[in-house]
Structures are given as structure tokens and as C-alpha cells.
Amino acid sequence: MTTGRRLAGFLATVALAALLGLTTAISMPTSHEAGAAVRLSWTARPEWIEECRAATEEELARVEVHMRQRVVCDGAAASYQLRISVDDTVVAEQVVRGGGLRHDRPMHVLVNQPVPPGLRRLRVELLRREARDSLRDLVPADLAAVEDTGLFAGRAARELDERSRRAAAAVPPRLLLDTVLQLPAQRVALVRYDPDGRRLVLVTDHDH
């Protein structure tokens, strides 16, 4: 092998090594360079909309004593319309449902919405799509009149409590966040659901 070849080999080695080094050092700009974003992220239970009635004596007679329920309900999880507006312009809109095949699992919201940086009016609304009202008003008024003694003592009240608790754990029919925020370039403002206050809250990196 000639000296020229050796030199060429050495230079090629240096070039290839540098290339290997550069492949890990190259920066790739993203499309977010000049923008900012609003991120919606939360998990919450959808409302369970039921139609309830008192079970008839015939229905109760058909099942074992320990399986008898005084109130028979048929229902489904609510779905919601999520709408994001920036400066009074709707920039994103989608339907949100609970997880699982029957959509009866908690619903997960994760939306990254690009927004121009600067002072912006942000409006996030989560609105139940079903017009029917929820459980409480649909519970038959004559439930109080059903048997509440012996084996059934207190059961009707417990069932009502359980339903009330479940309703309270679900998101309300309407959630609204309407605020003005200063959004710097390349920053993200987070909107999350506060289950205790049952409201949407805005979190920025300063709050965090």
C-alpha cells in the first residue's frame, strides 16, 4: 500500500468518524419553532345517564331474595363536546367519550393545540351532548313508598346515595374555562380538570 493510499485511508477514517459524530449532533428544528401551545390533559369519569323505575313485584319475585334491587336502571355514559377557542375563534372541536367498548370507563383528554404566542383569550368548553337530564330527577317519586323494612331495610336510601356519589364524581354537564393569558413563544399552557372543584384550571410553568 502506497503512502498516498495510507494518507487517503487516514483522511477517510477521520471524515467517517466526524460524520458519525455529526449524526448525533445535528439539530432538527420542529414545526413548533415560532409557536406556542395549549395542552388539555385530564382524566375524568363521564356522567352516567340513567332512567330508573321501581321494580315490579313480579320482577322481584323472579330473582333470589338477596339479589333483589328495588330500583331498576338502564343507562349509558354521557359524551361531551370539547371546544377550544382562541381569541373568539374556534380552533379545535371534538367529541370526547369514556374509554372502553361501552364508553363507561374514565375519559382521557389529551389535546395539544398550537396557538400563536402572545396575549390570547382562551376559552375551553366541555359540554355534555345528551339533552336528557341526569339521575336525580328521573328517580321515580314513588320510590319512597316501596317497602323499606326487613331484608330491604335502608337499601333504597343506600342505592340513592351510591348514585349521588357517582354523579358527584363525574364531570358536570358543562365545564368552561374562559381566561386571558400571556403565552410566550415555545411555551405550553396546560389546562387540567380539578376533580375537587369540578372545574377546569389553567396551569403554566410558573404555577407548576
Partner 1 sequence: MRTQTTHSRRLLNRLDSLVTRLYGWRHSPLHQPGTLAALMLVVMLVTGLYLVFGYRVGDPSGSVARLAADPWLGGPIRSIHRYASDLFVIAALFHGFRMFAQRRTWGPRSLAWVSGLVLVGIGLICAWTGFVMAWDVFGARLAIEGARWLDVLPIFSEPLSRIFSGDGPVPSAFFFVNLFLHIALPLAMGIGLWLHVSRVARPTLLPPRLMSWTIIGILAVLAVVLPARLGAPADPFALPGDTPLNLVTAWWLPITERLGAGVVWLLGLVGAALLIAVPRFTRPRPEALAPSVVDPRLCTGCNQCPQDCPWEAITMVERDDDRPTLVARVDPTRCVSCGICAGSCAPMGVGPPGRTGRDQVGDVRELLRASGVRGIVALCCDQAQAAHRAALTQRGVTVRAIPCVGNLHSSVVELLIRGGAAGVIVYGCPPRDCVGREGPKWLVERLFHDREAELQPRVDRRRVQVATMAAGDLAGTLAAHEQFAKAVEAIAPTVPEPDPLLEQECAVALTGEES
Judged by CB under 8 A, the residue of 17, 61, 144, 145 near partner 1 is: 17
Separation CA 44–CA 128 (nearest Å): 13
| Own/partner long-range contacts of 161-169 (Cβ < 8 Å, ≥24 apart) | 163/50, 163/135, 163/136, 163/139, 164/135, 164/136, 166/45, 166/48, 167/47, 167/48, 167/134, 167/135, 167/136, 169/45, 169/195
Separation CA 76–CA 88 (nearest Å): 33
Separation CA 147–CA 159 (nearest Å): 14
Judged by CB under 8 A, the residue of 79, 91, 92, 99 near partner 1 is: 99
Q: Which of residues 166-195 bind partner 1 (CB under 8 A)?
A: 186-190, 192
9 interacts with partner 1 by CB under 8 A: yes
15 interacts with partner 1 by CB under 8 A: no
- Which range touches partner 1 (CB under 8 A), out of 10-18, 58-66, 134-142, 157-165? 10-18
3 interacts with partner 1 by CB under 8 A: no
Q: Which is nearer to partner 1, 70 or 192 (CB)?
A: 192
Shortest distance, position 50 Cβ to partner 1, whole Å: 23
Backbone angles phi, psi at 120, to 5 degrees: -130, 145
201 interacts with partner 1 by CB under 8 A: no
Neighbours of 199 (CB within 10 A): 13
Name the residues that contact partner 1, by CB under 8 A. Answer: 1, 5, 8-9, 12-13, 17-18, 20-30, 32-33, 35-37, 39, 41-43, 99, 105-106, 108, 110, 186-190, 192, 203-205, 208
